[in-house]
């Protein structure tokens, strides 16, 4: 009887680890997509835009507070008005000073250069190109994939 409950515990652990691998692969693919858009955004066409809102947003959870610089801008391409809130690809929430820097850089009413995707004009950024944060999702995906793969053999050995 002991062997049966040990097998069920091992099976549960393996399923849990496989879910982590699946999440890791998904994050990696999403991160790869973000990274590719960041790379090609440097060659996107430009339009003039205007900042319509710019504020520091605070989010609280059990781990504390995080802050983001929420910036919304409008731009016109081919006589159609668009709106976006992407300052850069891979933008993230973090500390208050980082969020305040973004908001200070893009005050309401200021004129900005907008880089838009010629294949999807509604996709646009203020800061094109790759930044360190463009790699963040890929990094998380690699961790979620590799850690379970490293742990799996030990889980299988425990079963024996």
Instruction: Note the pLDDT of residue 140.
Output: 77
Q: What is the pLDDT of residue 32?
A: 82
Q: Per-residue pLDDT averaged across 38-50, rounded? A: 92
- In whole angstroms, what is the distance from residue 148 CA to residue 143 CA? 9
Where are the domains positioned within the chain? 1-42+129-160, 43-128
Report in angstroms the alpha-carbon separations of 36 from 29, 62, 83, 89.
11, 33, 22, 10
The yes-or-no verdict on residue 125 having pLDDT over 60 is yes
Q: Which CATH number fits the domain 43-128, given the four candidates 2.60.120, 2.60.40, 2.130.10, 2.40.50?
A: 2.40.50
pLDDT above 90 coverage of the chain, percent = 36
- 157 vs 57, which has greater pLDDT? 57
For the segment 104-113, what is each residue's pLDDT rounded down to a tens digit?
A: 999 999 999 9
Residue range 5-14, pLDDT digits in tens: 555 566 777 7
Rounded (10°) angle between helices 136-159 and 2-41: 160
Rounded to an integer, the average pLDDT of 19-24 is 83
The pair phi, psi for residue 58, each rounded to 5°, is -105, 135
Pairing of strands 64-77, 46-61: antiparallel
Give the number of other Cβ atoms within 10 Å of residue 56's Cβ. Answer: 17
Residue 64 pLDDT? 79
Q: How confident is the model over 79-124, as pLDDT tens digits?
A: 999 999 999 887 666 778 888 989 999 999 999 999 999 999 999 9
**C-alpha radius of gyration, the chain, whole number:** 22
**Can you list the alpha helix ranges (DSSP code H) found in the chain?**
2-41, 96-105, 136-159
**What is the separation, in whole angstroms, between the first and last Cα of the chain?**
15
Closest CA to 139 of 39, 34, 17: 34
Q: What are the phi and psi torsion angles at 32 (to 5°)?
A: -65, -40
């Amino acid at each position: 009887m002991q062997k049966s409950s040990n097998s069920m515990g091992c099976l549960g652990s393996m399923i849990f680890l496989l879910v982590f691998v699946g999440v890791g692969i998904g994050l990696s693919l999403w991160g790869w997509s973000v990274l590719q858009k960041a790379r090609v955004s440097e060659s996107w066409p430009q339009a003039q835009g205007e900042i319509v809102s710019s504020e520091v947003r605070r989010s609280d959870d059990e781990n504390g507070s995080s802050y983001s610089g929420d910036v919304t801008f409008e731009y016109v391409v081919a006589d159609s008005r668009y709106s976006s809130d992407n300052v850069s690809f891979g933008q993230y929430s973090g500390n208050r000073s980082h969020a305040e820097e973004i908001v200070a850089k893009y005050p309401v009413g200021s004129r900005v250069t907008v880089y838009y995707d010629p294949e999807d004009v509604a996709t646009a950024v203020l800061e094109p190109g790759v930044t360190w944060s463009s790699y963040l999702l890929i990094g998380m995906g690699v961790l979620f994939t590799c850690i379970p793969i490293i742990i799996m053999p030990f889980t299988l050995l425990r079963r024996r």
